[in-house]
Structure 1
Amino acid sequence: MRIAFALALFAALGSTSAPAQLALQIDARGTLAEVRVGDAIYLSDVAVTLVKPGWTGNLADQRAVDPATVRVHKAGRTTTYTMPLRGENLTAQLIERVTRDGDLVDVQYEVIPDQDVELETVLLQGSLATASHAGKTSYLVGGPTTSRGILPAELNDKNHILWSGDPEWLGFGLPGVGGLRVVPRDMGLQLQDDRKWNTPAFGLLATAGGGEHLARKPIRFALSLRAEAAGRLDDEVKQGALAGVSLVDDRPLALKNARIDRDRLEAFASITVDAEIEARYDNPFDPDQIAVDGEVATPAGKIVNVPGYFQTPFQLEAGRGGESLKVAGASGFRVRYTPTVAGPHQITIKVKDRSGEVRAKPLAFIVDASKTPGFVRVAAKSPRYFAFDDGASYFAIGENVCWGGGKAPMADYAAWFAGLGKAGGNWARLWLAFNEKGLEWMPAPTPKGGTGSYQGLGRYALDNAWRLDEVVHLAERNGVRLMFCIGTYGEFKDGGFFNEGSWVSNPYNAKNGGPCASPDDFWTNAEARKLYKQRLRYIIARWGCSPQVFAWEFWNEVQPTPAVEAWTAEMAAYLKQHDPNRHLVSTSYGSPAIWKDRNIDLSMTHMYGTAGATADFTAQIQRETHANLAFGKPYLLAEFGIDWQAGDEKWDPKGNGLNMHNGAWAALASGSAGTAMLWWWDGYVHPKNVYHVLTPVQAFAATIDWANTPFRPIERIEIVGDPSRTETFRDVTLAGSQSWGKTASNRYTALHDGTVKEGPVAVTLGSPKRGNANEVFSEVVWTLDMPQAGKVLVHLGEVCSGGRLRVALDGHEVLDRPLATGEPGKGPWKKSRLLEPWKVWVSDYDEAIPIDVPAGRHELTLANADGDWLQIRKLTLPSYRSSRHPEVDALGLAAVGRMILWVHNRQSTWRADFDGKSPEPQEKLTLHVPTTSQADWRVEWWDTFQGVVVQTDQVQPASGILRLTPPRFDRDLAARLTQKP
């Protein structure tokens, strides 16, 4: 049954063509059976589908709903459809509200699952019949990225995705007929040619709400539909974000004027010189065509060269559909410079094109001394920490905030930085990889489109550059320093767990006109390296003046091959040569060769658990930090989270923030130059207001003179419990700590204090038959000393393309189990995902396999003998942990006359909170801390949740040991020790 629902929309749209009529036909299930403008049916069969992970099928479909179960309610201009969605192990409620509001129809959707569910996406899909639209109908994309095209007459099998991204709107127009504008809210859109799957239609796919969803938590999204007069949509797309901006000049070289914005300023503030230039170029970003530079003479007579850049001013407009940018002035060339010393300066603008060079008259300006601390440097007296130019310490406290959350990225950053800064945070990491702050990517239409007016290789998105200017200003207002991560590994691959592979749209790809036939060519191709240096020049020119920029980071998680190491050395040297303010430089991932490079200033790693298997990261953070301190440079744990596959909100739905808390303090007390930087900023930290975790860290860190105190880790702090207690044993779970690759050893010893000797522990075991057999271990060996006989639980995780788990006890095989893989629901695994590029299944068994182990000392060998790889997420050892070893970690740093300690109850973990378990209080402990001083020490014990001192002690060492007695605590304490004169 269909319900005819015609809406006449008459609006003054500023066109000479008469407005068209929008009509909808909605069936008894709420499906938009037809969306018609005039005589043209633009969309049909628009309905909601819940898609299984990995696009392996549908969990539920609105089209399959029994009409008898649908409740319809009309109130004024709104008709509401409420219905059950049922599928495999799932029930949910779908609420659809259709409202006429003047000249538009608004359709709001709400999906409420009855139980926790993992989805690939919530899909709202409709179609355009090829018989009516192929080769005739235009599609137009409006918003930060604009695009236009004709729905193709024939299928292009290699480019069936016509457009994909997060637009302000998507429109369709047939010649002689009114157009249709579709405005999504909280959804991404994709337009594709379904003839690839033998369906005679073009598909419009709106996606929302992928990942893990909690029971009874609504997933909301909406779209509005509006009929438009002929030509209106095309006019808007033609204007776009860069309407009226010319990137070409063909006049003889001339420097007409150079205007400085002020002639007196304080050190670490910036001067801006705008130059009025005529020249011959068709790419203002190419310094071989036109190079604008400032030549600064300092009071000491030093000459500093400052690159200039081409820019366009914009104005931010916020409306119902989100934010948009409009050109707000004339484009032109600009030079910005930040002086670091007081005294008289001069700047001379010089311009060079292929015909020669011209110079302006010098512009003078006076620099006064400033109380501003300046740029962040490596501390000269304490080179594992940071300092400002004025010598004050800088301890990095923050999180990742890599991209905006939707259609209002500037509002997002304003809120995120306000929350971070108010809590005492001072550091954030940004990605500049084809999001709303990116510079260089393929313009739409492209399969992996970005946000912004991308121009292709060697040309930069001026709207995004303006946004990044504003992000820096927002950070400055909130006291946050920014790490600019310029690119990510996904630019050089296809597929990926998050579908992050984007090589298909990388402008360096030869198929897009770039110089690289393969991703590996990027690191060695001379033209690619030249073009990347050109981008670095632009970044230096535009943002190198800012003390708010903490560091340049080349890559996110690019594996350090020899070619990558050589490339990194070359680019780091380029930055140090051309950045007037010599910002810090780093990358990820690194290697010993990279970290030892004199132009790399700090080392970094990333750390995640898998599927919630790691309850406590303390030992892993300590181990990783100590390993990196060997390079003699500052170290940051720059990404951190409970689970690389799901946000911390999955494991901490109440927003207690205990994982973030423990990570921050463990990093501080291990010798990191900052906190462990949590990844999940938009779905966890901000919505659950977890910023408060950082406030006590800031209060404690502010009392330490990091820049002048060369701390070193205290190798061992002995913890002595209450000697009157009878020894007992309890179960202990030892989680794997390295998800991929070989660790230092494949032999591990489980100690009775609940720790592992010879860690970190490898999670993944590869078959000897896999393509790269040396990439991961094929077996690991555990040494156990069982207080009594029991069942050791081997926690099996994911298996890729089959496997064969073999378990041996003291050399005798006790288990030989083939492990198949396949589609979800077709085997003993809990769930499965398809690795698209290789067409292989990864099946998650999530199973605890019991192995009988007698009392006494034994070797337990775990091996994979077949297939590709499998995961051993953790071992649970029964009645193993001795009560004689308090369940407490003690981490510490020492320098002459100073110490820092963090004492942590191992029962205080995110996992215990998730399981509803409270930690047992720790009392009557004694810490034995080694010292070479015989002087008395003042000990301040800090509450790490309130950021206040709760007890002060005076302690005298005896026989080279400080015996400290911390106050009773439930979770953790910090201590600051000062040697008395």
Structure 2
Amino acid sequence: MAPAAPYFVTETGQNWTPIGQNDALTWPDLAGLFCRRNVAAVEGHLAWLAAHGVTCLRLMLEYCQTEHRYLERPVGRFQPNMVRFWDDLFALCARYGLRVLLTPYDTFWMARRWRYHPYSRAQGGPGTRRSQWLSCPRMRQAIKDRLSFAAERWGSSGALFAWDLWNEIDPAHAGKRPEALTEFISDLSAHVRAVELRCFGRTHLQTVSVFGPVLGHYPTVAEVVFQHPQLDFATTHFYEAATINNPKDTLGPARATGALVREALAQLPAARPFFDSEHGPIYTFNNRHRTLPEAFDDEYFRHMQWAHLASGGAGGGLRWPYRQPHVLTHGMRAAQRSLAAFTELLDWKHFQRRNLSHEVAISSPAFAAFACGDTRQAVVWLLRQDRPTTRNSTRRRALPPRAIQLTLPGLAPGAYRVHLWNTVAGTAGGHLLVQAGAEPLRIDLPAVGADLALAIVAEG
């Protein structure tokens, strides 16, 4: 982590922003690596991702929707084809500068197909019921053994960004006792750190993820996920039922994302990074069995990532594809490339951001503002909200530009350069020089169309 800001840096101290998505062993982009069926195609894909500004892939060590991608079978016997897949993937990611946020289990399908999993008692494994996953001593030992194997084999790779110690941690897997999660995290965290210190003399960052709606059922889980002293950064999964899960337009998901980031930051230690590590139209895809129209989905994706970054999240959040086929579109990759280029305008390792979305003032109610800042830098994203794109739109409506004025509090007196960023084209649209004094910084924007991102940095 950056020593003076809630963001990330590389080993050499350069700014590093997690931009990417969730992927899986069985999905089209990586499937060719299993049994080395088409290594060249996977390598080409990873090179293409790197060229589009992608820096991070979130992956699970196994994928349990089918019977053919278990890491262990039976428990404790690590499958050679799976181990070779990970050997090859880490080597390729290192070659192209990509890093992996790694979580040990696919708990979604593991729960739904538990009787088939090698860890279930029905298959000779240590587990009994799903409600005892996090508390059963034999299950706990199997989890530690898997993490030990992974840390010893791949922990030396610079392509490993961090451990997501448990995917979507839930009191339902600990006898509905939220207090049990603290002990579980403490135990796994200490175990993985001990293994890495023994093997390499250093450790990787750690987090746990949580399915966002769980925080509504168990409010005390937020304290565990956001403030546990042994975790380095916080991640949640943005699945807001009314908007993100089943989007009707591209405005609601953006506003929900901004609100969820602001809510998360309010519960974090000031120096702890945060980002959404899974989101997407889960209800539309899983329950209604529909793939969103591509143009609509591209804008839904782009709006969510800018709302996430501008509200104070690290990067744009990590989408779960929820498409047929299960990959991100070229439009989404273009949006990631635009975000990656924009992030180069700010000095993240010295950015002590706080959310300012409610504090920024805009002269026109036609725009929603998403913002964060400190005394020397700020990010603002302005989104037109009077005519949002709907799922039934055949094409994006042309919106006549409007002149607006905004004021942003918190910046110290002095001169500032305001970079204007076209989020669709991924290009700078010039800059403004403005002066802050005793009053909040005022920026007069002569023409804003559908949306506009601003990077505000102190001069000198």
Match of 1:563 among 180, 194, 197: 180
SS at match of 1:716: coil
Does residue 550 of structure 1 match 2:161? yes
Does the C-alpha gap of structure 1 residues 654 and 939 become closer, same or farther in structure 2, counting only changes over 3 Å? closer
Partner of 1:379: 2
In structure 2, what is the equivalent of residue 426 of structure 1? 55
Rate the CA distance shift 1:472–1:689 in 2: closer, same or farther, 3 A: farther
Q: Could you say which residue in structure 2 is the equivalent of 1:601?
A: 232
Per the alignment, in what secondary structure is the counterpart of residue 901 of structure 1? strand
8 Å Cα contact 1:649-1:684 kept in structure 2: no
Report the TM-score when normalising by structure 2: 0.83
- The whole-number CA distance in structure 1 between the counterparts of 2:264 and 2:71 is 40
In structure 1, the residue matched to 2:10 is 388
Superposed displacement of residue 705, structure 1? 1.3
8 Å CA contact 1:422–1:478 kept in 2: the answer is no
Q: Secondary structure at the match of 1:487?
A: coil
Distance 1:587 1:931, change over 3 A: closer
| Pick aligned residue for 1:713 from 347, 355, 370 | 355
CA RMSD of aligned residues (A): 2.7
User: What is the Cα deviation at residue 533 of structure 1?
Assistant: 1.1
Cα pair 2:72 2:118 within 8 Å, conserved? no
Secondary structure of the corresponding residue to residue 904 of structure 1 = strand
**Secondary structure of the equivalent of 2:108?**
helix
Q: Quote the residue 2:32 is aligned against.
A: 408
Whole-angstrom CA distance in 2 between matches of 1:956 and 1:453: 58
1:539 equivalenced with 2:157 (yes/no): no
In the TM superposition, residue 482 of structure 1 has moved relative to its aligned partner by 0.7
Residues 654 and 976 of structure 1, relative CA distance in 2, 3 Å threshold = closer
1:862-894 CA deviation, whole Å, 9 max, x = no partner?
A: xxxxxxxxxxxxxxxxxxxxxxx22x1122222
* 1:549 counterpart letter in structure 2: L
Letter in 1 for 2:346: I
Q: Which residue of 1 aligns with 2:99?
A: 481
| 1:524 shift after superposition | 1.8
- Does residue 472 in structure 1 map to residue 90 in structure 2? yes
Letter of the 2:104 partner, please give it: I
Question: What secondary structure is seen at the aligned counterpart in 2 of 1:679?
Answer: coil
Which residue of 2 is the match for residue 456 of structure 1? 74
Could you say which residue in structure 1 is the equivalent of 2:335? Answer: 693
Counterpart of 2:206 in 1: which secondary structure?
strand
Aligned 8 A contact 1:488 1:558 in 2: no
The answer to whether the Cα contact below 8 Å between 2:238 and 2:260 also exists between their aligned partners in 1 is no
1:618 and 2:244 are equivalent in the alignment: no
In the alignment, structure 1 residue 575 sits paired with structure 2 residue 192: yes
Match of 1:661 among 302, 321, 324: 302
More helix by share: 2
Letter of the structure 2 residue corresponding to residue 417 of structure 1? L
Which residue number corresponds to residue 946 of structure 1? 425
Give how far 1:687 is off: 5.4
Gaps of 5+ in 1: 1-377, 436-446, 494-500, 722-884
Q: Secondary structure at the match of 2:382?
A: strand
Task: After TM superposition, list the pairs within 5 Å mapping 1:818-897 onto structure 2.
Answer: 885-886=365-366, 888-897=367-376
Corresponding residue number in structure 1 for 2:383? 904
- CA deviation after TM superposition for structure 1 residue 511, in Å: 2.3
Per-residue CA shift, 1:788-830, capped at 9, x if unaligned?
xxxxxxxxxxxxxxxxxxxxxxxxxxxxxxxxxxxxxxxxxxx
Unpaired runs of 5+ in structure 2?
Answer: 172-177, 211-220
Confirm or deny that 1:702 pairs with 2:344: yes
2:205 is the alignment partner of 1:584: yes
Distance, in Å, in 2 between the alignment partners of 1:490 and 1:642 is: 16
8 Å Cα contact 1:905/1:970 also seen in 2: yes
Q: Per-residue displacement from partner, 1:288-320 (whole Å, max 9, x unpaired)?
A: xxxxxxxxxxxxxxxxxxxxxxxxxxxxxxxxx
For the 8 Å contact 1:685–1:691, the answer to whether it is kept is no
Single out whichever of 545-554 and 968-977 deviates more from structure 2.
968-977
Question: Cα–Cα, structure 1 residues 693 and 681, in superposed 2: closer, same or farther, change >3 Å?
Answer: farther
Give the TM-score normalised by the residue count of structure 1: 0.41
User: How far did residue 615 of structure 1 move?
Assistant: 3.4
Name the structure 1 match of 2:413: 934
Shift of 1:578: 1.7
Bigger RCO of structures 1 and 2 (CA < 8 A, at least 6 apart)? 2
Work out whether residues 2 and 8 of structure 2, in 8 Å CA contact, stay in contact via their aligned partners in 1. yes
Cα contact 1:655–1:689 (8 A) shared by 2:
no
Distance of aligned partners of 1:919 and 1:905 in 2 relative to their CA distance in 1, 3 Å threshold: farther
What amino acid maps onto 2:53 in structure 1?
A: G
Partner of 2:138: 527
Q: After the TM superposition, which residues 69-468 of structure 1 pair with which residues of structure 2 at under 5 Å, given as runs?
A: 378-382=1-5, 384-405=6-27, 408-409=32-33, 411=38, 413-434=42-63, 449-451=67-69, 454-468=72-86
Cα distance 1:644–1:545, how it changes in 2: closer, same or farther (>3 A)? farther
Question: Any idea what SS the aligned residue of 2:447 has?
Answer: coil
Percentage identity across paired residues of the two chains: 21
Kindly provide the amino acid, as one letter, of the partner of residue 702 in structure 1: E
Superposed CA offset, 1:471-496 (max 9, x none): 11222222211111211333553xxx
Partners of 1:571 and 1:453 lie apart in 2 by 19
Query: How many residue pairs get matched?
Result: 421
Q: 1:577 to 1:448 in 2, by over 3 A?
A: same
Q: For residues 387 and 57 of structure 2, what CA distance do their matches in structure 1 show?
A: 27
Residues 555-586 of structure 1 deviation map (CA, whole Å, 9 limit, x = unaligned): 33232433344222210121122213311111
- Structure 2 CA distance for aligned equivalents of residues 517 and 920 of structure 1: 58
In structure 2, distance between residues paired with 1:932 and 1:553: 35
Q: Distance between the aligned counterparts of 2:314 and 2:105, measured in 1?
A: 23
1:652 Cα shift? 2.7
Pairwise CA distance, 1:606: 1.5
Look up the SS of the partner of 1:964 in the other structure. strand
2: distance between equivalents of 1:450 and 1:720? 57
Kindly indicate whether the alpha-carbon contact (under 8 Å) linking 1:565 and 1:593 is maintained by their aligned counterparts in 2.
yes
In structure 1, what is the Cα distance between the partners aligned to 2:137 and 2:96? 41
Q: 1:585 to 1:644 in 2, by over 3 A?
A: farther
**2:314 counterpart of 1:673:** yes
Cα distance change of structure 1 residues 599 and 396 upon mapping to structure 2, 3 Å threshold: same
Paired with 2:279 and 2:388, the residues of 1 have a C-alpha distance of 15
Residue 78 of structure 2 aligns with an amino acid whose one-letter code is Y
Structure 2 SS opposite 1:673? coil
For 2:331 and 2:294, locate their aligned partners in 1 and report how far apart those are by CA, in whole Å: 12
**What is the one-letter code of the residue matched to 1:690?**
M
CA 573–964 in structure 1, closer or farther in 2 if over 3 Å, else same:
same
- The structure with the larger Rg is 1
Distance 2:329 2:417 in 1: 40
Secondary structure in structure 1 of the residue aligned to 2:294: coil
Judging changes above 3 Å, is the alpha-carbon distance between structure 1 residues 611 and 550 closer, same or farther for their aligned structure 2 residues? same
Write the letter of the residue equivalent to 1:663. Answer: M
Q: Distance in 2 between matches of 1:925 and 1:680?
A: 35
Distance 1:594 1:605, change over 3 A: closer
The 8 Å contact of residues 134 and 184 in structure 2, kept in 1 or not, is answered as yes
Letter matched to residue 408 of structure 1: G
Partner Cα separation in structure 2 for residue 649 and residue 904 of structure 1: 27
User: Cα offset for 1:390?
Assistant: 1.7
Which is strand-richer, 1 or 2? 1
- Structure 1 residues 931 and 919: CA distance shift in structure 2, 3 A: farther
Deviations 1:720-755 (A, max 9, x none): 13xxxxxxxxxxxxxxxxxxxxxxxxxxxxxxxxxx
Structure 2 CA distance for partners of 1:924 and 1:970, relative to 1, 3 Å = closer
The one-character-per-residue Cα deviations of 1:149-172 (angstroms, maximum 9, x if unpaired) are xxxxxxxxxxxxxxxxxxxxxxxx
